[in-house]
């Protein structure tokens, strides 16, 4: 449960219809198994104590008496189990029969959540046997103990304040206003569903989207346990389609037509972070929901859920291609509007032969095509200086010509040398002044060329560079419109690759592939033996690590110690722990110290959920202190190491 992770399980046990003794044994067996697996919240299907398909047998006293005894046996079996367990059962109260989810914890039955919406259409006829629960929860006597009974029950624990659980039953999730909606507004962060949803053609996809959508709408975790093999097949077949979802994403999905359990970890801190940021998610004041305490111990949770090492990049080829096309369109549409609004005659792009300037040029070409303008209005300027290599120079020139842009070569070495004389800087001193003077000279050239032609300077810097402050202030940091400003470096590479694969020009594709194969470098230091001498990732760290850090820091507000833990898990086998720690510390220091550069960014289109615009997603003071974040990162050495399943 460290870092807000809670292991949960959705279980479909083997059952026999109306054989409570057998069903209870099977449920007990799975309670043992889930306990051994470390699950802290366990969910079983609707009416699984008896079987959902008992029909009119539900009116028989024998079955109801056995069900009561079965619940007591199950409660007793949980005495030494450290979990909150939900089991579906029929319950007779004051001569009426109810479909309930019983909450079991450390040998006790804590509450009975009643089913709110009883389906009575198609293959369902629950109103024949069951009654709707009361509008408000009441206390009933069960085995001489008062137990809350009804809807609107919440379960909370002092050992994990972020964990508040509420149950609903099958059809409740299909209703226009599910009970979970009110529960979430009252503070529930985890919804469980004891279900018996039969399987028909196409229903699995609908069920999956329904549960994922509800978890997204409520910004919560959702554990859905469905009835499976063992139910009567007189008219229906149940497939045991179990689902665990979190904020719109399905974390784990069970194989259909196969009983068993699925496990995953709900990230409760992530849910809290999302709710804090979402101002339309409003808590329900004075919500008439009853809170019931339960007990679980705080302990380490091993991770089994997927933690992508490249969170900005979709893993599937099809999804990645769709993402790339969408981002290129967003970038081009933003630039298109800016060109049209300013009535610019052309745009100016500084071309280095590197990835970022290549992407900016490709986006400019796409925007010009949308406007029906001649690509000759794109002025591609190459400005060779002390660090320019023949490889990047040739790629920049060939690419510009192939795209139909107007190529201009403006060497800046002599101008920079004169500047060194003016300020009294020794040209053999390759310090930051040596580097930044070149970047600022190039920006001055681009701005003046734009003025000559009534154009706009297109910024090339990407979001990863902005996060690290890896840009020369008022040099490559500045432009008139920054098309790459919210595109992370790990995604820039895929965008260029996608353009190369879909452009239909084999010559251009070859050039772009060579750009992709070129080391990332600002090329501000003289080359060695004709090769790039200055490799960015050797100096500032791997961008795939920095993009990972950036995503989890800004998207979910994670603490550095948690980011470090997740990075170790995601990059296992790629980077050593000490390497991850070193570059995370670098990231935190640079992210805070370089905010002043982001505070005066040029306009640029937002393309994803993480962005650094000072006018939108990141309104951060330029002099904020990183001490608290660095202290949290340092705490990893004093914490007990956790073994993760990798």
Residue numbers annotated as active site:
46, 115, 170
Reported as type and span, the H/E element at residue 588 is helix 577-593
Contacts of 564 (CB under 8 A, 6+ apart): 580, 581, 584, 633, 636
The angle formed by the CA atoms of residues 22, 9 and 148, to the nearest 5 degrees, is: 75
Residue length of the chain: 646
CA 370 to chain centre: 32
Contacts of 448 (CB under 8 A, 6+ apart): none
DSSP lists the bridge partners of residue 141 as 146
Reported as type and span, the H/E element at residue 552 is helix 543-555
Q: How far apart are CA 142 and CA 377, in angstroms?
A: 81
Report whether 461 contacts 482 (CB < 8 A). Answer: yes
4, 300, 8, 243: CA torsion to nearest 10: 70
Report whether 602 contacts 332 (CB < 8 A). Answer: no
Report whether 271 contacts 246 (CB < 8 A). Answer: yes
Contacts of 34 (CB under 8 A, 6+ apart): 9, 11, 42, 83, 261, 263
Q: How far apart are CA 393 and CA 484, in angstroms?
A: 21
**Other Cβ atoms closer than 10 A to 286:** 5
Q: How far apart are CA 286 and CA 187, in angstroms?
A: 11
Report whether 225 contacts 242 (CB < 8 A). Answer: yes
Cα separations in angstroms, 628 against 228, 275, 561, 567: 50, 23, 11, 20
Identify each DSSP E strand in 115-189 by its residue range: 138-142, 145-150, 153-156, 164-169
Helices (H) and strands (E) in the chain — how many of each?
19, 20
CA 546 to chain centre: 16
Report whether 392 contacts 514 (CB < 8 A). Answer: no
Question: Is 139 in a helix, a strand, or coil?
Answer: strand
Q: How far apart are CA 69 and CA 83, in angstroms?
A: 21
């Amino acid at each position: 449960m460290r870092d807000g992770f809670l292991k949960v399980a959705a279980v479909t046990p083997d059952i026999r219809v109306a054989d409570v003794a057998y069903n209870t044994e099977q449920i007990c067996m799975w309670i043992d198994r889930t306990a051994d697996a470390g699950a802290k919240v366990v969910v079983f299907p609707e009416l699984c104590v008896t079987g959902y398909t008992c029909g009119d047998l539900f009116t028989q006293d024998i079955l109801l008496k056995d069900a009561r005894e079965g619940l007591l046996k199950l409660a007793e079996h949980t005495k030494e189990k450290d979990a909150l367990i939900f089991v579906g059962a029929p319950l007779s109260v004051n001569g009426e029969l109810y479909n309930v989810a019983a909450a079991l914890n450390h040998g006790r039955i804590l509450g009975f959540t009643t089913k709110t919406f009883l389906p009575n259409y198609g293959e369902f006829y629950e109103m024949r046997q069951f009654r709707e629960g009361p509008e408000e929860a009441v206390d009933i006597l069960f085995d001489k103990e008062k137990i809350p009974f009804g809807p609107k029950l919440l379960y909370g624990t002092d050992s994990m304040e972020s964990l508040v659980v509420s149950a609903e039953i099958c059809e409740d999730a299909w209703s226009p206003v599910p009970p979970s909606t009110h529960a979430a507004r009252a503070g529930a962060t985890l919804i469980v569903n004891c279900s018996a949803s039969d399987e028909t053609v196409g229903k699995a996809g609908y069920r999956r989207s329904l549960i994922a959508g509800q978890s997204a709408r409520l910004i919560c975790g959702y554990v859905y346990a469905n009835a499976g093999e063992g139910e009567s097949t007189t008219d229906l077949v149940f497939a045991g389609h179990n689902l665990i979802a979190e904020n719109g994403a399905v974390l784990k999905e069970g194989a259909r037509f196969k009983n068993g359990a699925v496990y995953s970890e709900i990230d409760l801190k992530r849910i809290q972070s999302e709710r804090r940021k979402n101002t339309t998610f409003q808590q329900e004041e004075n919500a008439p929901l009853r809170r019931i305490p339960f007990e679980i111990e705080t302990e380490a949770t091993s991770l089994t859920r997927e933690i992508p090492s490249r969170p900005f990049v979709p893993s599937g080829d099809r999804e990645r291609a769709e993402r790339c096309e969408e981002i290129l369109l967003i970038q081009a549409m933003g630039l298109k509007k800016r060109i049209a609004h300013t009535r610019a005659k052309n745009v100016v792009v500084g071309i280095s032969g590197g990835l970022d300037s290549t992407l900016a040029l490709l986006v400019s070409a796409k925007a010009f095509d949308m406007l029906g303008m001649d690509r000759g209005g794109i002025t591609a300027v190459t400005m060779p200086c002390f660090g320019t290599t023949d490889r990047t120079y040739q790629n920049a020139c060939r690419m510009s010509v192939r795209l139909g842009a107007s190529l201009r070569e403006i060497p800046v070495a002599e101008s920079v040398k004169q500047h060194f004389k003016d300020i009294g800087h020794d040209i053999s001193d390759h310090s930051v002044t040596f580097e930044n003077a070149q970047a600022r000279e190039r920006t001055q050239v681009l701005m003046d060329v734009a003025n000559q032609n009534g154009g706009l300077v297109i910024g090339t810097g990407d979001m990863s560079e902005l996060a690290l402050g890896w840009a020369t202030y008022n040099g490559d940091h500045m432009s008139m419109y920054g098309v790459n400003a919210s595109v992370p470096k790990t995604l820039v590479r895929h965008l260029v690759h996608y353009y190369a694969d879909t452009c239909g020009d084999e010559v251009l594709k070859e050039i772009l592939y060579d750009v992709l194969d070129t080391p990332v470098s600002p090329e501000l230091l003289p080359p060695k033996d004709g090769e790039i001498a200055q490799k960015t990732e050797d100096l500032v760290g791997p961008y795939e690590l920095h993009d990972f850090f950036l995503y989890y820091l800004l998207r979910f507000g994670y603490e550095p110690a948690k980011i470090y833990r997740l990075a170790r898990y995601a990059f296992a086998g790629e980077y050593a722990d000490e390497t991850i720690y070193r570059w995370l510390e670098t990231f935190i220091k640079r992210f805070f110290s370089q905010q002043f550069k982001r505070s005066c960014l040029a306009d640029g289109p937002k393309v994803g959920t993480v962005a650094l615009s000072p006018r939108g997603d990141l309104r951060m003071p330029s002099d904020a202190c990183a001490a608290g974040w660095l202290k949290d990162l340092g705490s990893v050495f004093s914490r007990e190491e956790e073994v993760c399943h990798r």
